Amino acid sequence: MSIICGLPLVECVYCLACVRWAWKRCLHTAGHDSETWGFAATQEFEPVPRLCRYILAVYEDDLRNPLWAPPGGYGINPDWLLLRKTYKDTRGRAPPYILYLDHDHADIVLAIRGLNLARESDYAVLLDNKLGKRKFDGGYVHNGLLKAAGWVMDAECEILRELVEKYPNYTLTFAGHSLGSGVAAALSMVVVQNRDRLGNIERKRVRCYAIAPARCMSLNLAVRYADVINSVVLQASYQNLFCLVEESLSFL
């Protein structure tokens, strides 16, 4: 019939259906997913604003003389800042991060910055992936983010082990935004799978707060590590929309 009419009707219908599906996916926001969810308890959300400030602090060159501090500051005591890694230190294998010993909240925090639009190395990490390329603990993870997490783990394993052993009542928290959230989430899974490298730290002491998280693991892993990884998504988040667009394009 398509040949007789001179129009590829079947192909047109198929293309229109794909465009309609992609358009609906682009309009889909986290609000649709969470509209039936319950409210988080106060103690569950309490660390989020504080950790967001710690992540923002990674962007500063000198926390004693900050240039872009938010109202109220970063809430960081510079004397408790144990290390700060820049792109030069990571050689582009992972985004910059800081390690902060938060005595006020009994927390060892490794905070990772988000995507730098001017850094090719960040794009290299983000684009180093193919569907089904990297298996992990019975599921699939983003290859580039897992490699970045592995680099951070190898680089900071010794100091993290010393800290969790020296402060047995402190939690170990990984926090990140955007690209950094994917690295933080992958890093938390690596730590849980290799707890012996950190003095056999208890799983309940390991936490991750992924702010505007990148899509970095299969659903079964997200469920399995739900007690460790906390995702924080603004309902109109650009990062969330970007992930949906990426998913849509992968099917076209």
Please give the model's pTM, rounded to 2 decimal places: 0.81
C-alpha 127 chain-centroid distance: 15
For residue 85, list its beta bridge partners: 97
Which residues, other chains included, contact 232 with Cβ-Cβ below 8 Å and sequence gap of 6+? 48, 209, 210, 211, 212, 213
Strands in 229-232's sheet, in edge-to-edge order, are: 81-85, 97-102, 107-112, 171-177, 206-211, 229-232
Structure tokens at 181: 């959230």
Would you state the pLDDT for residue 238? 47
Rounded Cα distance, 37 and 22, in Å: 25
Would you state the pLDDT for residue 7? 56
How deeply is 87 buried, as exposed, middle or buried, from its count of CB atoms within 10 A (0-12, 13-18, 19+)? middle
pLDDT tens for the 252 residues of the chain, in order:
445 455 577 777 778 877 887 776 666 655 666 667 677 788 888 999 999 999 999 999 999 999 999 999 999 999 999 999 999 999 999 999 999 999 999 999 999 999 999 999 999 999 999 877 889 999 999 999 999 999 999 999 999 999 999 999 999 999 999 999 999 999 999 999 999 999 999 999 999 999 998 888 999 999 999 999 998 887 654 444 444 334 333 333
Would you state the pLDDT for residue 248? 35
Would you state the pLDDT for residue 11? 74
Which residues, other chains included, contact 160 with Cβ-Cβ below 8 Å and sequence gap of 6+? 99, 108, 110, 172, 198
**DSSP letter assigned to residue 72:** T
